[in-house]
Amino acid sequence: MFFFVVMKSFNICLLLLFITSSSLIAQEIDTVPIETKGLEIKLKRSPLPSRTGILNYTPVKIPPVVIAEKINYWKTRTNVGININQGTFSNNWKAGGVNSFALGGAIDYRAEYRKEGYGYISQVMLEYGKIKNKDQLQKKTRDRIFWDNKADLRLSKSWYFFGSVTFESQFDNGYAYFRNNKNEERDTLVSKFMSPGYLTESIGFEYKPVGYFSTRIGTGTARQTFKLDTTFNQQFNGGNFGVERGKKFKNELAFQIVSNFDKQIFKNVNLMARYQMFIPYDRKLEHIDHRLDVELRSQINRLMNVTLRGVGLFDKDSDKEIQASQSLAIGIAFTFPR
């Protein structure tokens, strides 16, 4: 009897213990914040290997990069032009005509140096051309040597002090043509290389308000006229280009004005003009020399262009009347650098 009572009491105790344990497991676990300031908390050492000590940094020297570039104060330009004209007619061509062939060429070189207030310009123009018609003598269409050198010092925005040296002559002999009593064409020598030839030195002031226009006022100008070949006489005047007969040289002091205009007036159309006036100090004003060169050039494409040139010259030492020439040509032109 006692054994059964003890077993019943033990079972009741186990039941109460099981109920209490279940209720404790079912309750939520609350978190309580703990102030850790001032506490010495030792963290567990990491199992990974670590290295302590001072890191030394060695600076790497990078050499400076030097660019081998120089300022070029020179500007150069070269124009080369070639013109060819040819015509052929059959013997029974009723409209008339004569077989002909013409060839001409020109070189225009310009070099300019400009640094701060100093400048130098050198320009060389070489022109030569010939035409041959059937049953006629060969004739020149172009023949000129022109070399101009000018150094200047800038005084203000538009004014410069300059000094210049200019040389002019021709390559080949020049002839005047006529027909004799038999209607045969003949020629007579009237000019050649350095007969005449001109060397002009000038100092003064230059006015250049814009890049495409300038005027030189040469208050101190000297011109030497050469006629090195004295075996022929100029039949069309009495002065042999102003040189006394039998002599080869003449020097003159004068006042000179030279104006230059060079601008693209329309798309692919450029106008270039040069006017020169020479006033000798020791002669009357009627002996003033004038020369006007005008060139109108139209660029068709990269290689072809059309050029219209005109020259007007009044020099009593060469002829008492105004001399004029005009030419129209289409040809091939090269410009360097492009």
Tell me the average pLDDT across 212-233. Answer: 91
Tell me the average pLDDT across 128-137. Answer: 88
Q: Is residue 18 part of a domain?
A: no
Residue 172 carries which side chain, given as an amino acid letter? D
Q: Does 88 score more than 90 pLDDT?
A: no
pLDDT value at residue 12: 64
- Integer Cα distance of 311 and 327 in angstroms: 9
Q: How confident is the model over 152-186, as pLDDT tens digits?
A: 999 999 999 999 999 999 999 998 888 888 888 88
Q: Is residue 35 part of a domain?
A: no
pLDDT value at residue 40: 66
Lowest mean pLDDT among 70-79, 95-104, 160-169: 95-104
Going by pLDDT thresholds of 50, 70 and 90, the confidence category of residue 6 is: very low
Tell me the average pLDDT across 215-239. Answer: 81
3-class SS of residue 157: coil
Q: Is residue 300 part of a domain?
A: yes
pLDDT value at residue 331: 86
Instruction: Please count the structural domains in the chain.
Output: 1
pLDDT value at residue 237: 46
Tell me the residue range of the domain where 99 lies: 76-336
3-class SS of residue 318: coil
Name which of 76, 78, 72, 137 is nearest 107 in CA terms: 78
Q: Is residue 213 part of a domain?
A: yes
Tell me the average pLDDT across 220-224. Answer: 96
Q: Is residue 188 part of a domain?
A: yes
- Integer Cα distance of 329 and 327 in angstroms: 7
Going by pLDDT thresholds of 50, 70 and 90, the confidence category of residue 90 is: confident
Q: How confident is the model over 232-288, as pLDDT tens digits?
A: 765 544 458 888 888 899 999 999 999 999 999 999 899 999 999 999 998 888 889
Q: Is residue 142 part of a domain?
A: yes
pLDDT value at residue 310: 93
What CATH number is associated with residue 270? 2.40.128
Give percent above pLDDT 90 in the chain: 46
Q: Is residue 139 part of a domain?
A: yes
pLDDT value at residue 26: 47
3-class SS of residue 229: coil
Q: Does 42 score more than 80 pLDDT?
A: no
Tell me the average pLDDT across 133-161. Answer: 93
Q: Is residue 237 part of a domain?
A: yes
* Mean residue pLDDT across the chain: 85
pTM (2 d.p.): 0.76
Q: Which two tokens stand for residue 55?
A: 């890191």
Report yes or no: 229 and 243 within 8 Å, Cβ to Cβ: no
